[in-house]
Amino acid sequence: MEKKWWHDKIAYQIYPKSFCDSNGDGIGDIPGIISKLDYLHDLGVDIIWLSPCYASPLADEGYDISDYYAIDPRFGTMEDMDRLILETKKRNMYLLMDLVVNHCSDEHEWFQKACEDPEGPYGNFFYLRDKKDDRLPTNWRSYFGGPVWDDLPGTGKQYLHVFHKKQPDLNWENPALREEIYKNINWWLDKGLGGFRIDAIINIKKALPFRDYTPDRADGLCSVNAMLKEADGIGEFLGEMRDRTFKKYDAFSVGEVFNEKPEEIPDFIGQNGYFSSMFDFNAAMAGSSEKGWYDAAMVTPEDYKRCCFESQAKTGDTGFLSNIIENHDEPRGVSRYIPQGDCCPESKKMLAALSFMLRGIPFIYQGQEIGMENKPFTSMDEVDDISTLDEYQVALDAGLSPEEALKAVARLSRDNARTPMQWSDKLNAGFTTGTPWMKVNPNYKQINAEAQMNDPGSVLSFYKQLAALRKHPDYTQTIVYGSLEPVWENQRNLMAYYRKGDKTLLVIGNFQKEEQQVTLPDGYQNVLLNNYDTIRIRDNCISLYGYQILILNI
């Protein structure tokens, strides 16, 4: 494998609206991000990914872009962005922005021109079909519920949107549209970006010609995934985008890729893959149900272990996965993967190390490094996320009571990860001097960065130790490029694996509150990381405390 500059890096995702507010308007902004760069550098972060801060009506919190060349005034100015790029470079850090090119906003100039003249050049930037009174062009259901078709204002046509109705899908079959996208990507790379995280990219290729599929719910619609399974040829688009943009700049690109087939992994992240890396969503998809969130199963420690090892085995040394516990589209990982009632500093550290030591690029989502948890929901009036609102209605339609439906969707709501960053125990968790756009999680008095900064036993300090271990000259070659070999896979609620390179490291996590034992085949040289003060070993038999994590140099 050709070594690239991003292989040994640690990444951190910022959700700008909820990270740090510099002007007291209750919304996080770019100057606020700049003020926290030293915090991120001290954590060990090399790459920062910003969720969208482009001009947007925020129908889907910025993933509906109305101008790809402008910063939304809520977040600051283009001068602020230029300063952010400069300040990250001063700290030898790289900045990624979100590349959202499956769709734009219905307030984008392209869509406005398509409405004015659907038969003109901009009409072909989108998927338009003649409106028929008796039926929709297809029976596909959007990701946010309801049909994927809506009326094109002022015309006799309808347009396709696989997400929100204010997010019309862009027609990648049109070379003129692709040229506009490449021009914008290169404009940002010329500004000094280190690369992009690429949103919802699998959706850019549709199965043509459009047709109906078998309905999978009582609404008579089918999941848009039924169509995507039949869509062939996305590689032509992705390969062209790579060659016209990222490759020319040696830029880092990480794809939001779902449902890839094992044989496609070399195409996506191999030696000349479409992307530098792609996220591993295997654990995030565990327990999901086609019926909806209300029917989703709890993810057990055994599920989590199986998902991680499946992804590692499937990828091998073909390329680099980007490993996550959570992101802006998921609930908090410690609330999802740690058994209910067992969230504590020890279990959070264990989960952190199990993910961080996997082969691939570790991504930390804001607040993950201090162990932020899901927020308590008492009413649907507190919900901002459009996906949660849809899933609540799905649960009601399935016969759940309002109380049951609220409980069902609260567990998986995207709002769990979008509450303001908990900086301190001061007013509004130190996020803003004004009224925060979303309520702060009430546990900020107990869980905040300030309280953990000088506490060597804190979750934050443990993340710093993990980052330092990954960068340690004696171990970085093994952690970054070494193979991963699971061990004791059949021992319940134990997740353990070797990382083998020029050194041999053993990662052992007791994924339960009860103690359990493992016997090493041989002894160990030293303990590299331990979330307890002691290690109990006799005749190579280790007695593990509840949620103990050990990283041993074998």
Burial 183-218, CB ≥16 within 10 A → b, else e: ebbbebbeebbbbbbbbbbbbbbbeeeeebbeeeee
Tokens describing residue 390: 């849809």
Distance separating alpha carbons of residues 497 and 494, to the nearest angstrom: 10
Contacts with 293 (C-beta within 8 Å, 6 or more apart), sequence order: 391, 394, 395, 408, 409, 411, 412
Q: Tokens 């134990």 appear where?
A: 494
Cα dihedral: 537, 543, 546, 552 (round 10)? 50
DSSP state of 546: T
Tokens describing residue 43: 């954590």
- 199, 267, 369, 390: the active-site residue: 199
What type of residue is 135?
A: R
- Cα distances (Å, whole numbers) of residue 118 to 152, 335, 383: 9, 47, 36
Let me know if 256 is a catalytic residue.
yes
Distance separating alpha carbons of residues 526 and 242, to the nearest angstrom: 44
Sequential DSSP letters for 164-233: -TTSPBB-TT-HHHHHHHHHHHHHHHHHT--EEEETTGGGGS--SS-------STTS-EETHHHHTT---
Let me know if 199 is a catalytic residue.
yes
Tokens describing residue 60: 């889907």
Nearest to 511 by CA among 258, 362, 304, 238: 304
**170 bridge partner residues:** 126
Tokens describing residue 188: 């940002």
Distance separating alpha carbons of residues 493 and 482, to the nearest angstrom: 25
Nearest to 354 by CA among 447, 501, 493, 538: 493
Distance separating alpha carbons of residues 35 and 423, to the nearest angstrom: 12
Distance separating alpha carbons of residues 463 and 406, to the nearest angstrom: 33
Q: Give the helix ranges, DSSP H, for 357-385.
A: none
- 21, 169, 256, 373: the active-site residue: 256
Just list the catalytic residues: 199, 256
